[in-house]
Chain A
Amino acid sequence: MAASAPRAADIHLLRHGDGGSLLAVDGSRLFDTDPALTARIAAALAAGTADGLLADLGLSMPPAIDDRLLENPPVRALSLAVSQACNLGCGYCYAGQGSFGRPPRTMPLERALAAVDMLLDGTPAGEGCTLAFMGGEPLVNRPVLMAATRRAAALAAERGVRVNYSITTNGTLLTAEDGAFFEEHGFAVTISLDGVGEQHDRQRPFRNGGGSFARIMDNVRPLLARQRRMQVSARVTVTPDSVADPDGGPGGLLRMLDRFIADGFHSVGFSPLLRSSAGTGEMTPDTLAVMLGEMIACGRMFERQALAGRRYPFANLLNALREIHRGTHRPYPCGAGAGYFGVSAEGDLAACHRFVGDGAGAMGTLDGGLDHDARNQWLAERHVHRQEPCRTCWARYLCGGGCHHEVIGAGRPACDYVRGWLHYCLGAYTRLSDRCAPLFEGGPAAGPEGR
């Protein structure tokens, strides 16, 4: 992590061999540097005199991200909490076992349809939008999920709008018929899998304590075989238990990645648990350091496979490489509260699916419309230029300041991990970009939150 530590706000240097790579933070521009220039930059960073370096190198430009605040951007994605109830009892769930701390309930049909109408009414012909289903476990309320999808598809066809559909599910209620429906509409299906076998079962048990892994995999296999338009991905929430697995030892994430890729998942991604509803199971600086090593081991495998011309869909690295290739630079970590909102079962609008039922992200109601003042205040306060210590961090426009829900609830305990990971990804890009360019074509696999 030492190499990725913040030394200057406007540049970051990677060393490889005698040469290096320079990240000009503004605009996320990446340059290879020859040995002499690399040494000059390194010396300036060590002496704390890197401030004028970009101008000296002819790389200064008008700010790509300035302090102007985004105001009233169009709504392009909604996540419907069609079910604020869940049949699993995961201890870390941000949604408090699906109910967001309140009695379990489901979204009535007319409310789901009203949300669909709101989304489609605001999307002009020729443009696209995203309709996501989360929970709780959304398949608890399957009829409403299907009706809302059909409504969106009908309106989209009538109006010449593209709709991307996505669902995040625990997989325990999936049926082959669901697979046919998701395939018909080209869903991005994300299955929450936190390990293989018992490791998953420890984190994601049924409410009676029984394991869920075997049933999920039985349910998912027909979908994996069927995916054409549909894409079925695995998302792994990493807890201290995942990276300190007494049975697996080091390399646990790589074994998990290999297993799920071999199973046929379209992609596999890992995400550290930084904020849990019960405050337990969260990653610590020590366990995040272990996780970083495991992530880099996964990345090294990706690099070997990519150079051999083999598909190896490690989502974290693939998405990072695509964003680095384009030079994505963002003043926010995601579209939450900007173009993306969560809708609760009662019809309340929230900054994203995680803020359902949380006053910190309240954004109005379906009936009353968006609360523009709350939204603009959110966008003003959440801009990365207003965040500390982000303002002086080289990774700020790649990271955007971190998940709002995690930061508001738990601060920023993962900055070293994020910088370490991005430092590795930048290096991987410089190693792969000349020989694996087709990998970087196409945008990042976007979730409903616009990442």
Chain B
Amino acid sequence: MTGPKPRALDPKNLAAQLYHRARGNPPNSGLDSTIGNTCPGLEFDFRAAWRRLLEGVTLLEYDNLVVSADSGFSALEGCRLLSIDGKDVTVPVRGPDASLTEEITLRDNETDARVVTMEWSNGFAGVLQAKQGQTVVCEFTARPAYNPVDPEDYRSKNPTVTWNLTVRPFFQAGTAAIDAGTVPAGVLTQGLCSPWQNDYRECVCYYWASSRPDLVNVTTGDDGRVRADNWMQRDRTGSYVIDDYADSRLITYDELFQDWEGVLHFQVQGHDAPEAVPLPSPPERKP
């Protein structure tokens, strides 16, 4: 029996494995080179890596809600994880009030919650460091709680339950490869944005700034004033159109879905008109 053909270059130590770009992957497939690797990202949504860290339950990638539970854990479905190994996974958020004069504990407009769930990389930091493969005490709301809850407030008025759950290993032993039981294939890309479609249309400019400025065709006149277009304008006018999906001067959702290559004027070698510069093609596809 013969094994797989040895590779010309085989990453040996953890650093080599961590930084290695497998053959066929583009340069932006690495954690340090992605355009947006969270919230969600273009290439992958790393927050999803934490959803199944605790055996038996699946959490939301950004919240402490148990969205599904394995057999034997079904009582936890819809409940909220309040603390793990004695540490709350939510924190109050302090910030300026509406008048910007006083620091207050902020409230969520919709739910009135005064806490937010920490990013899981922070919320799980303690158990990741010391408890992988071990069971830890996890405290949940005793009943489903679909809106966020303040742990202290909740505990004073409601029962909570504790379960001993096992912390899955994050890496395969002795390697820099993420454990397939913790992050099954497909999970990291499951909740991605759909570039060029709704998400690209709707997300605000500061999120996409690295790949999509919302102010384009910028020129500065002799008077120092800037003339520019909204990136979603059909025509180059030099007059910025405020974003409004009902404004017929802007590209519509349907147009984006059906012909994003045609309606979006990508900048190629400094030009945005397709006829100005022939788009480069890979050599093997040349007629």
Contacts and interface: CB of A to CB of B under 8 A. Distances in A.
Identify the interface centre among B6, B9, B32: most chain A CB within 10 Å of its CB: B9
A32 interface: yes
B15 A327 contact: yes
Contact of B13 (A34, A57, A433): A433
A36 B21 contact: no
A440 B17 CA distance: 15
A31 B174 contact: no
A37 B19 contact: no
A438 to B, nearest CB: 7
A430 B11 CA distance: 11
Contacts of B20: 29, 59
A30 B13 contact: yes
A268 to B, nearest CB: 25
Interface in B1-24: 6-16, 18-21, 23
Nearest to A327: B15
Contacts of B16: 24, 27, 29-31, 327
Contact of A34 (B8, B19, B21): B8
Given A58-B21, A440-B174, A433 B14 contact: no
Contacts of A441: 174
Nearest to A24: B16
A219 to B, nearest CB: 35
B14 A31 contact: no
Given A61-B32, A327-B14, A438-B174, A27 B19 contact: yes
B55 to A, nearest CB: 22
Contacts of A29: 11, 13, 15-16, 19-20
B126 interface: yes
B270 to A, nearest CB: 26
A22 B14 CA distance: 14
A124 to B, nearest CB: 13
Contacts of B33: 62
Contact of A28 (B9, B15, B30, B32): B15
Interface residues of B, number: 22
Given A27-B19, A61-B19, A437-B173, A21 B12 contact: yes
Contact of A32 (B12, B19, B23): B12
Interface in A4-41: 21-22, 24, 27-34, 36-37
B174 A27 contact: no
Contacts of B15: 27-30, 326-327, 329
Contacts of A31: 9-12, 16
Interface in A35-80: 36-37, 57-59, 61-62
Interface string B27-39: 0001011000000
Contacts of A59: 9, 20
Contacts of A27: 15-16, 19
A30 B9 CA distance: 10
A369 B239 CA distance: 59
Contact of B14 (A34, A126, A326, A438): A326
A433 to B, nearest CB: 6
Contacts of B7: 34
Interface residues of A, number: 31
A325 B13 contact: yes
A248 to B, nearest CB: 36
A324 B16 CA distance: 10
A331 to B, nearest CB: 15
Contacts of A37: 8-9
B285 to A, nearest CB: 22
Given A29-B19, A62-B32, A438-B174, A34 B12 contact: no
Nearest to A439: B174
A325 B173 CA distance: 13
A92 to B, nearest CB: 36
Nearest to A441: B174
A429 interface: yes
A405 to B, nearest CB: 29
Given A58-B21, A61-B32, A62-B32, A30 B12 contact: yes
A24 B20 CA distance: 11
Contacts of A324: 13
Contact of A57 (B9, B14, B30): B9
A311 to B, nearest CB: 18
A15 to B, nearest CB: 15
A274 B20 CA distance: 38
Given A34-B6, A34-B8, A437-B174, A325 B21 contact: no
A433 B10 CA distance: 13
A430 B16 CA distance: 13
Contacts of B9: 22, 31-34, 37, 57, 59
Given A61-B19, A440-B174, A430 B8 contact: no
A21 B13 CA distance: 11
Contacts of B8: 33-34, 36-37
Nearest to B6: A34
B174 A326 contact: no
Contacts of B23: 58
Given A27-B19, A34-B6, A61-B32, A430 B12 contact: yes
A296 B23 CA distance: 37
Interface in B235-273: none
A327 B18 CA distance: 10
A326 B15 CA distance: 6
Interface of A: 21-22, 24, 27-34, 36-37, 57-59, 61-62, 126, 324-327, 329, 429-430, 433, 437-438, 440-441
10 closest pairs, A vs B, by CB? A327-B15, A29-B16, A437-B174, A32-B10, A30-B13, A30-B12, A37-B8, A29-B15, A34-B8, A31-B9
17 contacts: A28-B15, A29-B20, A30-B13, A30-B16, A33-B10, A36-B8, A58-B21, A59-B9, A59-B20, A61-B19, A62-B32, A62-B33, A126-B126, A324-B13, A429-B13, A437-B174, A438-B174
Given A29-B15, A30-B16, 4 more contacts: A31-B11, A32-B9, A327-B15, A440-B174
Interface of B: 6-16, 18-21, 23, 30, 32-33, 126, 173-174
